[in-house]
Amino acid sequence: MTDGSVTVRVPAKVNVQLAVGGLRPDGFHGLANVFLAVGLHDEVTATPADSLRLTVGGPDAAAVPLDGTNLAARAARALAAHHGLAAPGVHLHLAKDIPVAGGMAGGSADAAGALVACDALWGTRTPRAELLALCAELGSDVPFSLLGEAALGRGRGELLTPLPVGGTFHWVFAVADGGLSTPEVYRECDRLRAAAGTGATVDAVPEPEPSPALLAALRDGDSAALAAALSSAGAGGGSSNDLQAAALSLRPSLADTLEAGTAAGALAGLVSGSGPTCAFLTGGAAEAEAVAAALAESGTCRTARPTTSPAPGATLLP
């Protein structure tokens, strides 16, 4: 165990493809989930303490639970239990820059960050495979927050295969006021499928598959090809994100955000995961700055953040 504190930086993600299968009897949906880590980060600092204590800073701090349900606290408890430690003695501080309930896996990022930070603080030297297994128990998106870069997630999204990325992509993230509940967005997706007459269960919905064109665009670092794939890969009309229609149904004003970003020159726009953050792919750094400025001006979002991908996974800061 070290005496001082340790800080881990952990990225947000965008799902460049989120193909959602039918509702399974266990209540989950099978996914083909193409994750890309992006340069918005939370930082998790772990400091020695007698018991588990949690503090949160950042613009959305008030929306983050401080009790035992917080994913960072759950991660610290899980790691302590894994090593048979009597109690997770640690003060975790979450410096949150990833929007809360924004569809960018902020809570999952904090869980992965807390695992890596506590592992370093406690000197438990957990092998990577065991850390990944703990991540998968904490949530479907947590293993990817540990890995970062790009990966294909199957199963509930937690069975990961790293994907090659051949260049830098320039994005703008339009952050909305207020969040959307991920379970509620999945329920709306099921409801829309049932209402459309196609059915929402596993036998009615085709097995989700990654788009070969989208994977090739990532591999080649080709923004124009990725933009084309973002707008056409999905089963549900014009988006590679099968949750986009459900997010728009629950938050119709997101259509204005998507329209404002594409009108400002983005190559493509889509809802990030379960939303309500909208992601815009642009042609370069200058284009991203211009699209961010236009989005901020449009009044259709709270803030617009230019950034790049891919980004490394949970990383101990020196």
Active site residues: 13, 141
Which of 22, 107, 269, 313 contacts ligand ATP by CB under 6 A?
107
Length of the chain equals: 318
- Options 97-105, 170-178, 250-258, 301-309: segment touching ligand ATP (CB under 6 A): 97-105
164 within 8 A of 220, measured Cβ to Cβ: no
158 within 8 A of 134, measured Cβ to Cβ: no
d(CA 195, CA 285): 42
C-alpha dist (Å) from residue 27 to 153, 175, 207: 18, 29, 16
Binding mask 148-187 for ligand ATP (x = CB under 6 A): -------------------------------x--x-----
Helix (H, G, I), strand (E, B) or coil at 259: helix
Which of 90, 100, 176, 226 contacts ligand ATP by CB under 6 A?
100
Q: How far is the CB of 115 from ligand ATP (least distance, A)?
A: 12
Q: How far is the CB of 103 from ligand ATP (least distance, A)?
A: 4
Binding status of residue 274 toward ligand ATP by CB under 6 A: yes
Q: Does a cis peptide bond (omega within 30 degrees of 0) precede residue 208?
A: no
Binding status of residue 314 toward ligand ATP by CB under 6 A: no
Which of 88, 102, 234, 313 contacts ligand ATP by CB under 6 A?
102
Which of 22, 30, 89, 106 contacts ligand ATP by CB under 6 A?
106
Q: How far is the CB of 284 from ligand ATP (least distance, A)?
A: 27
Shortest-Cβ-distance residue relative to ligand ATP: 107
21 within 8 A of 207, measured Cβ to Cβ: yes
Binding status of residue 273 toward ligand ATP by CB under 6 A: yes
Q: How far is the CB of 93 from ligand ATP (least distance, A)?
A: 11
Binding status of residue 22 toward ligand ATP by CB under 6 A: no
Binding status of residue 108 toward ligand ATP by CB under 6 A: yes
Binding status of residue 71 toward ligand ATP by CB under 6 A: yes
Return the number of the residue (278 or 294) whose C-beta is nearest ligand ATP: 278
Binding status of residue 307 toward ligand ATP by CB under 6 A: no
Q: How far is the CB of 1 from ligand ATP (least distance, A)?
A: 24
Taking the mean position of all CA atoms in its chain, how far away is CA 17? 12
d(CA 183, CA 174): 22
d(CA 99, CA 66): 16
Return the number of the residue (12 or 200) whose C-beta is nearest ligand ATP: 12
292 within 8 A of 305, measured Cβ to Cβ: yes
For residue 28, give both structure tokens.
């989950």
Which of 57, 59, 65, 167 contacts ligand ATP by CB under 6 A?
65
Beta-carbon neighbour count of residue 194 at 10 Å? 14
8 closest CA partner among 225, 315, 318, 250: 315
Cα angle 5, 9, 15 (rounded to 5 degrees) comes to 155
Count of residues engaged in binding ligand ATP, rule: CB under 6 A? 22
d(CA 242, CA 189): 8
Is residue 35 exposed (0-12), middle (13-18) or buried (19+ Cβ within 10 Å)? Answer: buried
Binding status of residue 104 toward ligand ATP by CB under 6 A: yes
Binding status of residue 70 toward ligand ATP by CB under 6 A: yes
Residues within the interface to ligand ATP (CB under 6 A): 64-65, 69-72, 94, 100-108, 110, 141, 179, 182, 273-274
